[in-house]
């Protein structure tokens, strides 16, 4: 067979050669040991939480080595592609502060190794496919779906492995005449790799996360170009990661099964193999057993969920890092305020068996992260969230920033900051009572408090309240009121003989708390009163008393 003749027959329009491509994509000028890594999602609609997991691991690994991290869009499967998904990915990664050195951007490309959208790289793929045809390592296959199905049935009956290989590979040794006839008839065809593998022999790969992997060699003549001339994942991966000089290919472990394909492809193309790093699938607990996080069943599969629900960006990043590296939590405890970029991320600390995503733990991490923020930072974040999700609250926050920041400052700073909320969506419930428009009244007294007593205490308090009191004076006033009304001002005395009192100063404080905040749990009542101001405090307490 004259393979050059066949190659010209199939690709008369391809005038470029692999050498041209090598020139166009020269080696990168990077120091020894610098890693070039990427993420390459397929734009199939939404960004899975696993993509953030991958992005962070790649970004950290590349940048800690002094290398590059880029973004490629794998959009060769037009059947699965969702319009606007690529743009959504770019925006979403931007929101999470994932920084790419190069790659696809909203309106094109940024970098010297593009195009970074695979749909724009057809000529490049065909250049290499043509070369493989010239080398006798690829050939056209005109099998219809029905024929492929018939092969499958035959294999089932014979108890043979499924696939297109060896004696089942109908077009592998077709004559040039048969090929020309089929071409003349306009039959659609794919290009297949002519595998030289032998499944009775083994191939070994050292995975940077999973360690030594060993498989039977590939023997499948798998498709490298589809009938529309575009490549499936496998071929695009080999060509792109070679030309873009990716040193480490990190991807989900679902690609381990086809690793022998990739090994054979890289060899056939004469490319140096990258280091493979296969990451464990993110799992969740469901009724006691582990399973994959799925888009269909789990809203938390979609990164957009976290934005909508008001998860702090840094909380999610921080939590994902705990999933990525088992020693991150210890590091964080030892370095509570250090930026995450100081952490020495490593493949060695990545889970091999399946990281368990625990949304409750994420929430706790968010609470910690928020508790370390300044009031101003919390304000900016809550306001940004409310702008998109709660216009009523947004207007209130916007109308008086100083007031909101003062509220958010309660219990902040110091060794043990308050941890009242973990999500921006919880802030309204936490601080809403500070706004008359959101204050829902004050009927939520604990059951043990007598109504008439509460009314009396509230009425008395109106007369003794002084907005200029320091905290200790304020509390002394409460204690004096307690004593005069038969409540214990000393908690020890109360505990020793509760029957001797109507209650304790804690009950009095609770009456006031409920009257001014409407809630039994709130930030410090003294601080609350200070911020609410005399008029509101007295107004609320009087109204509360009147309603009892
Ligand atoms: N487009 C592939 C995916 O979404 C990327 C795999 C890779 O990173 O090589 O799974």
Q: Are residues 457 and 537 in the same domain?
A: yes
Q: Are residues 416 and 465 in the same domain?
A: no
In whole angstroms, what is the distance from residue 315 CA to residue 256 CA? 31
Direct distance between the N- and C-terminal alpha carbons of the chain, in angstroms, rounded to an integer: 99
**Does residue 78 fall inside a structural domain?**
no
Pick from 218, 236, 254: which residue ends a domain?
236
Is 376 a residue whose pLDDT tops 80? Answer: yes
Instruction: Give the DSSP per-residue string, 164-227.
Output: SBGGG-TTTT--HHHHHHHHHTT---EEEE-----TTSEEEEEETTTEEEEEEPP-B--EEE-T
Mean pLDDT of 430-434: 96
Distances in Å between the Cα of 240 and the Cα atoms of 237, 246, 316, 381 are: 5, 8, 31, 39
**Does residue 176 fall inside a structural domain?**
yes
354 pLDDT tier (thresholds 50, 70, 90): confident
For residue 437, report the distance from its CA to the centre of ligand 1, in Å: 50
Q: How confident is the model at residue 336, as a pLDDT?
A: 87
Q: Are residues 390 and 508 in the same domain?
A: no
For residue 41, report the distance from its CA to the centre of ligand 1, in Å: 5
40 lines ligand 1 (CB under 6 A): yes
**Does residue 251 fall inside a structural domain?**
no
Q: Are residues 137 and 232 in the same domain?
A: yes
458 pLDDT tier (thresholds 50, 70, 90): very high
In whole angstroms, what is the distance from residue 530 CA to residue 547 CA? 24
Q: How confident is the model at residue 338, as a pLDDT?
A: 93
183 pLDDT tier (thresholds 50, 70, 90): very high
State the SS3 of 123-171. Answer: HHHHHHHHHHHHCCCEEEECCCHHHHHHHHHHHHHHCCCCCCEHHHCCC
For residue 388, report the distance from its CA to the centre of ligand 1, in Å: 31
Q: How confident is the model at residue 31, as a pLDDT?
A: 96
State the SS3 of 76-140. Answer: CCCCCCCCCHHHHHHHHHHHCCCCCCEEEECCEEECCCCCCEHHHCHHHHHHHHHHHHHCCCEEE
Q: In the chain, pLDDT over 70 holds for what percent of residues? A: 100
Q: How confident is the model at residue 383, as a pLDDT?
A: 98
In whole angstroms, what is the distance from residue 134 CA to residue 19 CA? 14
List all residues 6 or more positions away from 301 whose beta carbon is below 8 Å from its beta carbon: 46, 48, 49, 293, 294, 295
Mean pLDDT of 523-537: 96
In whole angstroms, what is the distance from residue 21 CA to residue 531 CA? 67
Pick from 180, 204, 236: which residue ends a domain?
236
Average pLDDT, the chain: 95
Distances in Å between the Cα of 265 and the Cα atoms of 234, 269, 424 are: 8, 6, 49
Candidates 237, 242, 247, 254: which one to mutate for ligand 1, based on the most atoms within 8 Å of Cβ? 237
Which residues, in sequence order, are bridge partners of residue 141? Answer: 190
Read off the pTM.
0.90
Least confident span in 6-10, 343-347, 440-444, 508-512:
440-444
Q: How confident is the model at residue 260, as a pLDDT?
A: 98
Q: Are residues 468 and 430 in the same domain?
A: no
pLDDT digit string (tens) for 251-285? 999 999 999 999 999 999 999 999 999 999 999 99
More confident residue, 418 or 269: 269
242 lines ligand 1 (CB under 6 A): no
81 pLDDT tier (thresholds 50, 70, 90): confident
Is 98 a residue whose pLDDT tops 90? Answer: yes
Q: How does strand 248-252 pair with strand 275-279?
A: parallel
**Does residue 49 fall inside a structural domain?**
no
Q: How confident is the model at residue 355, as a pLDDT?
A: 87
Candidates 39, 57, 252: which one to mutate for ligand 1, based on the most atoms within 8 Å of Cβ? 252
**Does residue 297 fall inside a structural domain?**
no
Q: Are residues 417 and 456 in the same domain?
A: no
521 pLDDT tier (thresholds 50, 70, 90): very high
Q: Are residues 126 and 231 in the same domain?
A: yes
295 pLDDT tier (thresholds 50, 70, 90): confident
Candidates 119, 255, 259: which one to mutate for ligand 1, based on the most atoms within 8 Å of Cβ? 255
Q: How confident is the model at residue 29, as a pLDDT?
A: 96
237 lines ligand 1 (CB under 6 A): yes
Distances in Å between the Cα of 299 and the Cα atoms of 54, 312, 323, 354 are: 19, 17, 19, 20
Q: In the chain, pLDDT over 90 holds for what percent of residues? A: 91
| Domain span including residue 159 | 3-15+122-236
Mean pLDDT of 379-399: 98
Helix residue spans in 434-524 (DSSP H): 451-464, 471-484, 491-496, 505-517
| 507 touches 449 (CB < 8 A) | yes
Q: Are residues 10 and 158 in the same domain?
A: yes
74 lines ligand 1 (CB under 6 A): yes
Least confident span in 83-92, 115-124, 174-183, 240-249:
83-92
Least confident span in 33-42, 63-72, 340-349, 440-449:
440-449
For residue 181, report the distance from its CA to the centre of ligand 1, in Å: 37
Q: Are residues 507 and 472 in the same domain?
A: yes
Q: How confident is the model at residue 540, as a pLDDT?
A: 96
Q: How confident is the model at residue 72, as a pLDDT?
A: 97
Which residues, in sequence order, are bridge partners of residue 225? Answer: 191
- CATH number of the domain within which 141 lies: 3.90.800.10
Is 442 a residue whose pLDDT tops 80? Answer: no
For residue 428, report the distance from its CA to the centre of ligand 1, in Å: 40
Q: Are residues 139 and 216 in the same domain?
A: yes
- CATH number of the domain within which 494 lies: 1.10.10.350
**Does residue 458 fall inside a structural domain?**
yes
Which residues, in sequence order, are bridge partners of residue 103? Answer: 71, 110
Q: Are residues 8 and 129 in the same domain?
A: yes
Q: Are residues 139 and 10 in the same domain?
A: yes
**Does residue 35 fall inside a structural domain?**
no
Atom 10, ligand 1: residue with shortest CA distance? 41
251 lines ligand 1 (CB under 6 A): yes
Total structural domains in the chain?
A: 3
**Does residue 340 fall inside a structural domain?**
no
Pick from 236, 268, 287: which residue ends a domain?
236
231 pLDDT tier (thresholds 50, 70, 90): very high
Mean pLDDT of 180-186: 97
For residue 222, report the distance from its CA to the centre of ligand 1, in Å: 18
Q: How confident is the model at residue 49, as a pLDDT?
A: 94
441 pLDDT tier (thresholds 50, 70, 90): confident
57 lines ligand 1 (CB under 6 A): no
């Amino acid at each position: 067979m004259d393979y050059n003749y066949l190659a010209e027959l199939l690709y008369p329009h391809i005038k470029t050669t692999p050498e041209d491509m090598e020139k166009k994509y020269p080696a990168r000028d990077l120091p020894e040991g610098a890693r070039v890594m990427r993420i390459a999602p397929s734009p199939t609609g939404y960004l899975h939480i696993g993509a953030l997991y991958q992005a962070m691991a790649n970004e950290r690994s590349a940048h800690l080595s002094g290398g590059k991290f880029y973004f490629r869009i794998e959009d060769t499967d037009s059947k699965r592609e969702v319009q606007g998904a690529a743009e959504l990915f770019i925006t979403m990664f931007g929101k999470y502060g994932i920084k790419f050195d190069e790659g696809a951007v909203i309106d094109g490309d940024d970098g010297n190794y593009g195009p970074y959208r695979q749909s724009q790289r057809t000529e490049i793929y065909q250049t290499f496919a043509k070369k493989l045809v010239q080398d006798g390592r690829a050939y056209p296959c005109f099998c219809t779906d029905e024929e492929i199905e018939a092969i499958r049935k035959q294999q089932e009956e014979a108890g043979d492995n499924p696939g297109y290989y060896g004696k089942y590979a109908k077009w592998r040794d077709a004559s040039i005449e048969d090929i020309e006839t089929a071409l003349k008839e306009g039959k659609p065809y794919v290009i297949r790799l002519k595998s030289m593998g032998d499944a009775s022999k083994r191939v070994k790969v050292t995975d940077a996360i999973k360690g030594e992997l060993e498989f039977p060699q590939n023997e499948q003549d798998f498709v490298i170009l589809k009938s529309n001339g575009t490549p499936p994942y496998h071929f695009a991966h080999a060509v792109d990661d070679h030309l873009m000089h990716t040193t480490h290919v990190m991807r989900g472990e679902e690609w381990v099964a086809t690793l022998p394909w990739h090994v054979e492809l890289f060899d056939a193309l004469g490319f140096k193999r990258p280091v493979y790093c296969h990451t464990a699938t993110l799992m969740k607990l469901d009724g006691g057993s582990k399973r994959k996080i799925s888009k269909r069943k789990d809203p938390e599969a979609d990164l957009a969920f976290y934005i909508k629900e008001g998860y702090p960006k840094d909380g999610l990043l921080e939590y994902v890092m705990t999933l990525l590296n088992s020693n991150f939590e210890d590091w964080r405890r030892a370095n509570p305020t250090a930026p995450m970029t100081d952490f020495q991320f490593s493949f060695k600390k990545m889970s091999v068996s399946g990281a368990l995503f625990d949304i409750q733990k994420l929430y706790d991490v968010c609470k910690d992260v928020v508790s370390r923020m300044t009031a101003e930072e919390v304000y900016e974040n809550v306001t940004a969230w409310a702008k998109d999700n709660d216009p009523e609250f947004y207007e209130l926050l916007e109308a008086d920033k100083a007031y909101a920041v003062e509220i958010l400052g309660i219990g902040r700073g110091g060794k043990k900051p308050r941890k009242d909320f973990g999500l921006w969506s919880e802030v309204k419930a936490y601080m809403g009572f500070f706004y008359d428009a959101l204050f829902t009244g004050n009927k939520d007294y604990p059951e043990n408090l007598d109504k008439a007593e509460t009314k009396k205490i509230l009425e008395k308090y109106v007369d003794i309240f002084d907005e200029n009191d320091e905290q200790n004076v304020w509390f002394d006033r409460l204690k004096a009121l307690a004593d005069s009304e038969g409540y214990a001002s000393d908690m020890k005395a109360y505990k020793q003989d509760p029957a001797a009192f109507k209650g304790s100063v804690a009950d009095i404080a609770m009456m006031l708390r409920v009257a001014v905040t409407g809630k039994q749990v709130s930030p410090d009542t003294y601080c609350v009163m200070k911020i609410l101001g005399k008029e509101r405090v007295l107004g609320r307490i009087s109204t509360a008393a009147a309603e009892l």
